[in-house]
Structure 1
Amino acid sequence: MPLQLTPATDQYCAFARDLTRRAMMRYYHEFDLLWIEEAFDQAWRWREQWLVVEDDKVLGFCSLSQDRQALYIRELHLLESERGRGVGGQVLELLAAWADERRLPLLRLTVFKSNPAQALYRRRGFEAMGEDECFVRMQRAIG
């Protein structure tokens, strides 16, 4: 069965929060930022939440929002055991197709400056559009 995104119900909030915290804590420490559990839980309620699934196995999750111009990837995290085998790239291509289906001209994300995932994003057509002391804002044109 190919990789797919399936809706994440509230029962997956703790899984997603823990996965995000484990993946991002090194960057929070590096940039002296405070991880706030309640902020994650609040965002969970208003964003679109999707599980990354392959053969009925949950590999990770992504969190999305959108406006008139773009589909925003707010979170995209995979279990450590699933990284480095092309899953992230496949998810990015699925999300680009979703942006196209929704008639949105852009796919956007924000990434920590020191996160090596930037290389993946660049390979998948994302370009840096701006930065601050912690983050790089990136986007990919759709269509």
Structure 2
Amino acid sequence: MKYEWREATDRDLEFARDLTRRNMLRYYIEHDLLWQDQAFDVGWKGRENRLIMQGDRRVGYVSLSRDARALYIREIQVVEAFRGQGAGSWAIDQVFAMACRERRPALRLTVFENNPARALYERKGLQVAGKDECFFRMQRDVNGPAL
């Protein structure tokens, strides 16, 4: 399936918030964390957000931030009906290519320790670099081995 990027706008905030809540609420409950719409909205406004599109359908989104050490995937969410069809893998490839173009040392993300998406991240070359409470910090160095 062919995917494309589109810059997200404020009109996409509700889609992204609802998708993230649907996909992640069970992890918040399992780890006794509190989901807060307002916290999501604040994060959204301070990041670069891109929609994963298939034609005119929003199939997911990626939320990014940067510093001198890395390009960070803060959120990567895919609509359930499109999981397992390559959208997440495609998006990670796009973000890694951005990190390379921007000459960032690494691509980083954080994932709940019991989230099966960790297997995808590992297939994409991200490795566990540390653990915080219920999260794994994962990283792929830009100058690391090619996949």
CA RMSD, Structure 1 to Structure 2 (Å):
1.1
TM-score between both structures, scaled by the size of structure 2:
0.94
> What SS does structure 2 have at the residue aligned with 1:85?
coil
TM-superposed deviation, 1:69: 1.4
Post-superposition offset of 1:129: 0.5
In structure 1, the residue matched to 2:33 is 33
> SS of the counterpart of 1:109?
strand
- Runs (4 or more) in structure 1 with deviation over 6 Å come to none
Uncovered stretches (5+) of structure 1, i.e. residues with no partner: none
Equivalent residue, structure 1, for 2:136: 136
Partner of 2:3: 3
List per-residue Cα deviations over 1:6-55 (Å, max 9, x = no partner). Answer: 11000010110000000000000000000011000111111001100122
Cα distance in 2 for residues equivalent to 1:133 and 1:78? 25
SS at match of 2:45: helix
Equivalent pairs, count: 143
TM-score, length basis structure 1: 0.97
Counterparts of 2:84 and 2:37, CA distance in 1: 27
Query: Identity over aligned residues, as a percent?
Result: 50
Compute the displacement of 1:85 (Å).
Answer: 1.2
Aligned-partner Cα distance in 2 for 1:101–1:16: 26
Query: What does residue 53 of structure 2 align with?
Result: 53
CA–CA distance in structure 1, aligned partners of residues 35 and 81 of structure 2: 24
Q: What secondary structure, in the 3-state scheme, does the structure 1 residue paired with 2:33 have? A: coil
Instruction: Tell me how far apart the structure 2 counterparts of residues 134 and 99 of structure 1 sit (CA, whole Å).
Output: 26
Structure 2 unaligned spans of 5+ = none
